[in-house]
A and B are shown apart, each in its own frame.
Chain A
Amino acid sequence: MKPRNIIEKIWDDHVVVREEGKPDLLYIDLHLIHEVTSPQAFEGLRQNGRKVRRPDLTFATMDHNIPTVNRFVIEDDVAKNQISALERNCQEFGITLAGLDSDDQGIVHVIGPELGLTLPGKTIVCGDSHTSTHGAFGALAFGIGTSEVEHVLATQTLWQHRPKTLQVKVTGSLSEGVTAKDVILYIIGKFGVDFGTGYVIEYSGEVIESLSMDERMTICNMSIEAGARAGLIAPDETTFNYIKGRKYAPKGEEFEKAVAYWKSLRSDPGATFDKTIEIRGEDIAPMVTWGTNPSMVLPVDHSIPTLEDARNENEAASFKRAYEYMGLEPGTNIQDIEIDYVFIGSCTNSRLTDLRAAANVIKGRKVAPNVKAIVVPGSQKVKQAAEQEGLHEIFINAGFEWRDSGCSMCLSMNNDVVPPGKRCASTSNRNFEGRQGKGARTHLVSPAMAAVAAIYGKFVDIRTEKLEAVK
């Protein structure tokens, strides 16, 4: 048999129907639901008198819309209506819901793994583009629209074109102060926001293998920012250790059987990909985005590009738009940019290790007087675990606000909004115009870089900062 890569193996194991000239009908093992992209899908089912085929493979939570202070008091009636619609729909169709009062609640891409729902080899979908996060476990996980949500609810399948496969290898090792966030920002900066369009990515290489599960999730999370619907990492001992004992994970003998299957998923020796790119871990520095998409990113010790740096007219046009929107002059040194807000959170960087990394930097220090800083743990479980370690005290003593879990300032659908013209160092994944509020200016960074920016009120190279701390 021809050697296959992990993407092809998972795909082949899930094809229900393959017919000439058609996409494959793919079986879906896990369907995650949240309040924003599901109401119209449930409405569609009702209108056609259809049921949810496998409520047992469907799991819901609320995250996008909810308050992160006083979580039970939703002032916005339209938002409240959306939340109650989810509650009603889950009840009517028999779907488990981790609601606001549940210990399991959190950002959908944080709780899936945390609860052991996310497992290697599964096909996982959710009406959210950052579903790619779950690929960190060696699952084929991708975002879908609301019509597809309805389709999965009704049939537990999707018509999908077999994707092209892309291998992204990160060799060597990372320097001190460089994190998974910097790796993925570096890759997007180098290859652009659409190099992954039409592909599923497998990340591999020594750097990837050495990462924790939390860090792997950060990488896979931002695959969509490179245009790839899904990105995954082959499961290994790190993966199995993370999964063992989780609420919904297989137990005992079942677990051992599962591990044997999961091991078989690794790409075969000699397996090929449609495209391969390779980068060196040593080349990566702490990164800061300066523009209005994630590929407009630079090492922290660089300056904002000038029009002469643009590769073509299109790029020059988008540079101009970005200077204006971001209120930045070409040639400005990144470390001269002052910030007003710091947001530590989102499905990219709101897990326990992210909070630890930030807390480590701010311990015993104070947030700059003109900066408003908030920490929003990715889930209530992350929040509890952080509090057990006393991280919340470090944040609160430094002047951060310590919030309940949710998407919060990542997309600012609730009240957590960056005002027009204000500048935010954010650990989230999108620096699009208006993402954190109309006219808000977003700079994407790692948790440690966000933390150090909070203290100085401007961007600082975490590497030099570390040296000083040692002195």
Chain B
Amino acid sequence: MQPFTTLTSHIAVLNRTNVDTDQIIPKQFLKRIERTGYGRFAFFDWRYLDNGEENPQFELNQPAYKGAQILLAGENFGCGSSREHAPWALADFGFRAIIAPSFADIFYQNCLKNGILPIRVNEEVFETLLKKAEGNVYECTIDLEQQKVFDQEGFEFHFDINEHWKEMLLNGRDEIGFTLLYEEQISQFEQKAKAWG
């Protein structure tokens, strides 16, 4: 996994609530057995017209947002299915961080496992970012070590993330390798568990 330390980028805005993983990556693209190459399918049904051209109405097709690595989204982002193809598609599309008032639980976890930093913000921060970023090329910097986001205009906020996941992201750590350090405890648990289960 690619480590995440700091990121400076402009922000793309998708101000819709309850964006589900069926929208992020429609099911017809889940048949592939690879982990890569999903970016071109991200938001497929919203992003393209029936004739295959980009839909100019779709928010993320706005020229101001092209190349953005930070996504600002509405509440309950990533609800629905557990498909990890959703963060794979977002990462491959170019996003390395997502800021939203709330995330669906499974999606939040799936982001962490793919080097995407999900940042929960309160209503006030969300509204401020929305005002600054909507329709504009608005740039800010995320510093994971410091757990803060700031722009050049002096706006700044702090965000929460569990220490464990922060470490994983900062070091781009192989989680399975880390867990296998606990091999002895897992084996002991299995011995003990036989007694009741």
CB contacts (< 8 Å) of A129 on chain B: these are 80-82, 106
Collect the chain B residues with CB atoms within 8 Å of residue A145's CB.
82-84, 87, 106, 109-110, 113
- The reply to whether the CB of A161 lies closer than 8 angstroms to some CB of chain B is yes
Interface residues of A in 180-217 (CB under 8 A from B): 193-194, 197-198
**List of B residues within 8 angstroms of A40 by Cβ:** 33-35, 84
B156-196: CB near A (< 8 Å → 1, else 0) gives 00000011100000000011110110100110011001001
Q: Which of B139-163 contact A (CB under 8 A)?
A: 162-163
| Contact across chains for A16 and B189 when beta carbons are under 8 A apart | yes
* A434 adjacent to B45 (CB under 8 Å): yes
Contact B84 A318 (CB under 8 A): no
**Of the candidates A131, A151, A430, which one forms a contact with B176 in the assembled complex, judged by CB atoms under 8 Å apart?**
A151
Q: Known contacts A193-B76, A432-B20; decide if A147 and B114 are in contact (CB<8 Å).
A: yes
Q: Contacts A129-B81, A434-B45; is A293 near B20 (CB within 8 Å)?
A: yes
What is the total number of residues of chain B having a CB less than 8 Å from a CB of chain A? 51
Q: Which residue in B20, B76, B114, B176 is a CB contact (below 8 Å) of A50?
A: B176
Set of chain B residues within 8 Å of A81, measured between Cβ atoms:
31, 33
Q: What does the 1/0 interface line of B20-54 toward A look like (CB < 8 Å)?
A: 10110011101111110000000001000000000
* Complex-state Cα separation, A150 to B47, whole angstroms: 31
Closest to B86 in A: A145
Query: Which residues of B (44-80) have their CB < 8 Å from a CB of A?
Result: 45, 74-76, 79-80
Q: Are A154 and B176 in contact (CB-based, < 8 A)?
A: yes
The binding surface of chain A is classed by DSSP as loop
* Interchain CB contact under 8 A, A194 and B79: yes
Inter-subunit contact B113/A27 (CB<8 Å): no
Which of A23, A29, A39 sits near B197, CB closer than 8 Å? A29
Chain A residue, CB-CB nearest to B22: A432
CA of A37 to CA of B87 in the docked complex: distance in angstroms?
13
Instruction: Point out the residues of chain B lying under 8 angstroms from A161, CB to CB.
Output: 162
Q: Does B104 count as interface, using CB distance less than 8 angstroms?
A: yes
A146, B34: Cα distance in complex, Å: 12
Residue of B nearest to A80 (CB): B31
CA distance A395 to B102 in the complex (A): 44
List A37-76 residues whose CB lies under 8 Å from chain B. Answer: 37, 39-40, 43, 48, 50, 64-65, 76
CB-CB under 8 A from B176, the residues of chain A are 48, 50, 150-151, 154-155
CB-defined contacts of A22 to chain B, threshold 8 Å: 162-164
Known A-B contacts A156-B186, A261-B196; A82 and B31 likewise in contact (beta carbons under 8 Å): yes
Given contacts A154-B180, A193-B76, contact A37 B164 (CB under 8 A): no
Q: How far is the CA of A127 from the CA of B84 in the complex (A)?
A: 9
Chain A count of residues within 8 A CB distance of the other chain: 68
Distance A362 CA – B175 CA, assembled complex (angstroms)? 53
**Contacts A43-B35, A65-B31, A229-B106; A193 near B186 (Cβ below 8 A):** no
* Complex alpha-carbon distance, A13 and B193, angstroms: 9
Residues of chain A within 8 A of B109, CB atoms compared: 144-145, 148
A430→B109 CA distance, assembly (Å): 21
> Which residue of chain B is the closest to A40 with respect to CB atoms?
B35
Q: Is the CB of A438 within 8 A of B45?
A: yes
- Contact of B175 with A151 in the complex, beta carbons under 8 Å: yes
Contact of B32 among A50, A78, A142, A321 (CB under 8 A): A78
A residues near B83, Cβ cutoff 8 Å: 36-37, 145
Chain A contacts for B82, CB-based, 8 A: 37, 127-129, 131, 143-145
Whether B33 and A39, one on each chain, are in contact in the complex, defined by CB atoms closer than 8 angstroms, is yes
Beta-carbon contacts under 8 Å, B100-149 to A: 102, 104-106, 109-110, 113-114
B33 touching A85, Cβ below 8 Å: yes
Q: How far is the CA of A117 from the CA of B162 in the complex (A)?
A: 34
Known A145-B82, A145-B84, A293-B20: A197·B189 in contact at CB below 8 Å: no
Q: Complex formed: what's the CA distance from A127 to B81 in Å?
A: 9
Q: Contacts A157-B186, A413-B27 given; indicate if A434 touches B105 (C-beta within 8 A).
A: no
Q: Taking the nearest CB of chain A, how far is it from the CB of B195, in angstroms? A: 10
Q: Would A147 and B84 be within 8 Å (CB), given that A16-B186, A261-B196 are in contact?
A: yes
Q: How far is the CB of B161 from chain A (nearest CB, A)?
A: 12
Q: Quick one: which of A22, A36, A85, A317 has the most chain B CB within 10 A?
A: A36
Q: In the complex, what residue of chain B is closest to A264 when comparing beta carbons?
A: B196
A159 touches B105 (CB 8 A): no
B17 touches A318 (CB 8 A): yes
For the complex, give the distance between the alpha carbons of A346 and B81 in Å: 14
Q: Say if the beta carbon of A25 comes within 8 Å of chain B.
A: yes
Contact B104 A227 (CB under 8 A): yes
Across the A-B interface, give the 6 residue pairs with the lowest CB-CB distance, nearest first.
A147-B113, A39-B33, A145-B84, A145-B110, A143-B82, A146-B84
Can you list 19 pairs linking A and B with CB atoms under 8 Å apart?
A: A27-B186, A37-B84, A40-B33, A76-B31, A121-B197, A148-B113, A151-B176, A154-B176, A155-B179, A157-B179, A197-B104, A314-B74, A318-B18, A411-B22, A413-B27, A430-B22, A430-B80, A432-B20, A434-B23
List 17 additional A-B contacts (Cβ < 8 Å) besides A27-B193, A37-B83, A224-B80.
A16-B182, A40-B34, A129-B80, A143-B82, A145-B83, A146-B35, A147-B84, A151-B179, A155-B186, A159-B179, A193-B79, A293-B18, A314-B74, A432-B23, A432-B80, A434-B22, A435-B27
